[in-house]
Structure 1
């Protein structure tokens, strides 16, 4: 971490004993929220903000839902005030009228979140609060509007400029390693020995983004294998008995697991920056690296085949490769984007569908999701920007000639 990040972390890690020297404030949460919005003194504001956060942390789900509904209904914008402010700005575009329009267009709950965030350690609490909101308000339009306010603020608070890239290795603090085990969502880490095999060898790397306001919480991490050639099996890549190589001998960096750690930061994109930063750093450390690929699951393949009423034979390697290639390259949702969420992520980052491999994931999860098929997405650092722009503009899927041929063969067989 940089010196500035260390200094910020030291400030943010300060803890305040709850309610020390002060009487308990038993006012209803709406009253506390209104008081915090109107507070002019720093000490008073911090005291009220701390009370709100502590009270919220102790709530049951029904109480949290009631609090969110108060934010949605009573701390929303006033359409009448917005229209009046916009009319005034349209009549005279001055600093004053623009400021008035900005104030009217921003719901009071955004200022509430900002003031809550003044409490040391509150950023983690607000991320957890948004995770609750996503869980409890998934089908409620009014609560989804509250979530847009969270996303608006988090997009600024968790801007790439504030993130710190840190390597995770076997010498990292135990509490960080425990969280890597707990958060890993792609290929479960079964034990400390399993984690050690992923971190300690010279041909293995792990990197994570941290935020100074959450110095002990990884936001997202990526596990990397340094190999010779592009791998086609996760079991082979993670085998306990495998031939290790020196980093200087590798020509390929394989991003085989990317995990978002914080449910409350869903939709806040870190992966694009993480992969590109790691690729750049590894290129400097190992100039012999020429290829940057993933070895990725295809979580929607079996679900799509089932929905389409298509049969498949997991033992027919070429047929499975063709079906997977067609699913990734040609199967689209109503909005024109690929069905597969992992494909949307990597293609949106500017990657190219490079190769598909049958029998690549023999785990129970891999069989259930994709009948064992996995895919390499290629990150050509000279073309990612071009690929990204084409995908963003026209949903054009970048794919190798092999993938295109396999997809065409599957389309003909399915016709």
Structure 2
């Protein structure tokens, strides 16, 4: 509460400064219609006026941008891209001077010449009360425009650089979300849930049950009631192999202490902060906090989706690449073309075994061997958890039979394990060499790739440099 009062006091103070600064400026800067006044205000903001007048201009500019049409905002983004950039001649001259006479002085001149005026523009814009949240929203709009206009990429690069600094870990506050959390924040948890839809207030209340559930979120002082990212945790006695047991499972009626913390949903909340990582800090801190507060917990795992697996399987089957598939495997996998295949397999046990064998063999290959162009696992969720030091613990057949789970991952779900004794070692091995830490159970699913003449691998789908295969997969240490 004290934090909210302090932020509110500061925002009220800045609003007062903005209002007083407004009286010092020409009325022409405060026309109601956006149009040309956006560029006029932008130039005025960069003109080096006093702090009070700068706050007033920044506030007016943000007001105008709120009212601007999509076309007017696009014009503004192009103004930033074309007019607020380092002077090429000055950069060239400073670079030549540094190359001719390398020194601290010539380096400082080069750094000053190459410093983007856009960084200073957004820094000044952030003087306005409540500006940080509006700048984050502005970047969300900018990113949408970049998809069809890559000339704006430099603007986004500068803005992402600033936001990374403004939202660094030192400014973030971890808060537990429970039923006593303000309703405005709880509504946003429902709205922002991106992995497993929260089906109303009763569903949310179950997910916040203090007996066997936890939810934690990162907040920033400038966005007091806006979560940046949150994680949902189930406290159980076993490592789950299906999301239904977590979302629909009844809590235990006895008082047996939980032994396993299951991270089953991580949702980023702010589109304007895309590319700025919070999840690694969040998970590590939550693991540490839970280990301290719930002494019975011994195992920390995720139950994660495989959002790109089905697409990868389709590409692998269509390309005829070097994947571990026999003719019988391909025939069994043909059943996946039936949208009701998950319902139908229960009627055919033999066919189910064949399909499961083929699909799980592909899954092991996908996680342990498939590489993208940067020689890292193709699965984005795997990149995140492996990069954080987790181990690929188990692949779960039909772990998610929802429409989304079947469409995106053929029902596959994955357990990543966070072992406090191994996190740093796994992280270093992955960061340095791309090594995938995996359990024996996962490695046992890996099948040899058949030699098929006339079939070429697709470079951006699979990169399998033979001798490096075993080096990039590390399993359990021998048991003593």
TM-score tier by shorter-chain length is over 0.9
Pairs within 5 Å for 1:41-56:
41-56=50-65
Given the two structures, how large is their TM-score scaled by the length of structure 2? 0.80
1:3-51 per-position Cα deviation (integer Å, ceiling 9, x unaligned)? 6686346424768499797646235322211110113311210111111
Tell me, in whole angstroms, the C-alpha distance in 2 between the residues paired with 1:32 and 1:131.
Answer: 22
Structure 2 residue aligned with 1:233: 242
Conservation of the 8 A alpha-carbon contact between 2:14 and 2:128: no
Correspondent of 1:304 among 305, 312, 316: 312
CA distance in 2, matches of 1:269, 1:9: 27
Greater shift, 201-210 or 17-26, is seen at 17-26
Match of 2:232 in 1: 223
Please say if residues 172 and 218 of structure 2, whose CA atoms lie closer than 8 Å, have aligned partners that are also in contact: yes
Please provide the CA RMSD for this pair: 2.5
1:407 and 2:416 aligned = no
Unaligned runs of 5+ in 1: none
Q: In the alignment, is residue 379 of structure 1 matched against residue 418 of structure 2?
A: yes
Name 1:25's counterpart in structure 2: 30
**Pairwise mapping of residues 14-413 of structure 1 onto structure 2 (< 5 A)?**
16=15, 23=27, 25-26=30-31, 28-90=37-99, 97-239=106-248, 241-243=250-252, 249-309=257-317, 311=330, 312=333, 313=335, 315=345, 316=352, 317-408=356-447, 411=449
Q: C-alpha separation between the residues in 1 aligned to 2:12 and 2:437?
A: 45
TM-score (norm 1): 0.92
Deviates more, 1:182-191 or 1:371-380: 371-380
Separation in 2, partners of 1:339, 1:63: 39
- Cα distance per residue 1:336-378 (max 9 Å; x no partner): 1222111111111111111011121121111111121100011
SS in 1 for 2:295: coil
- Rounded to whole Å, the distance in 2 between the matches of 1:297 and 1:35 is 49
Please state whether the residue corresponding to 2:447 is helix, strand or coil. helix
After superposition, the Cα gap between the structure-2 partners of 1:101 and 1:169, relative to the gap in structure 1 and judged at 3 Å, is: same
CA gap 1:270/1:245 in 2 versus in 1, 3 angstroms: farther
* Max Rg structure: 2
The answer (yes or no) to whether the contact 1:292–1:379 under 8 Å persists in 2 is yes
Which ranges of structure 2 fall in alignment gaps of 5 or more residues?
A: 319-329, 336-341, 346-351, 456-480
Mapped partners of 1:77, 1:413: distance in 2? 55
**Number of equivalences:** 412
Closer/same/farther in 2, CA of residues 96 and 244 from structure 1, 3 Å limit: farther
